[in-house]
Amino acid sequence: MTVTIYHNPRCSKSRATLALLQEKGIEPTIVEYLNTPPSADELRRIVGMLGMKPRDLMRPKEAREAGLGDPNLGDDAAIAGMVANPIVMERPIVVNGDEARIGRPPAQVLEIV
């Protein structure tokens, strides 16, 4: 099982999710997405696994601050905006195989590990 966490070490929910995985004996691959953002293709794949629209993966306040707050923002523009401004992505995201969950609350990620 290869589990990946898109992690922001400054985020309390991200830290709590990582700790929860480690408590369960899972040592995930850690991607600090602010330093190494996912590609547009990878982000499309993650959004698909989450079963949501790209716009729904954006944190509203950060999206507005990045100029991505238009509620009519298209999928391609939202993906491009998250790649260029990864701070707008909801966090943390845990991926296991072809499943993904957002760690809000952290226990939600246990559904896929």
Just list the catalytic residues.
Answer: 11
Report the residue count for the chain. Answer: 113
Token pair belonging to 42 = 């990878």
Q: How far apart are CA 105 and CA 102, in angstroms?
A: 8
Distance from the Cα of residue 26 to its chain's centroid: 18
**H or E segment at 6?**
strand 3-7
Rounded to 5 degrees, φ, ψ at 90 are -65, 150
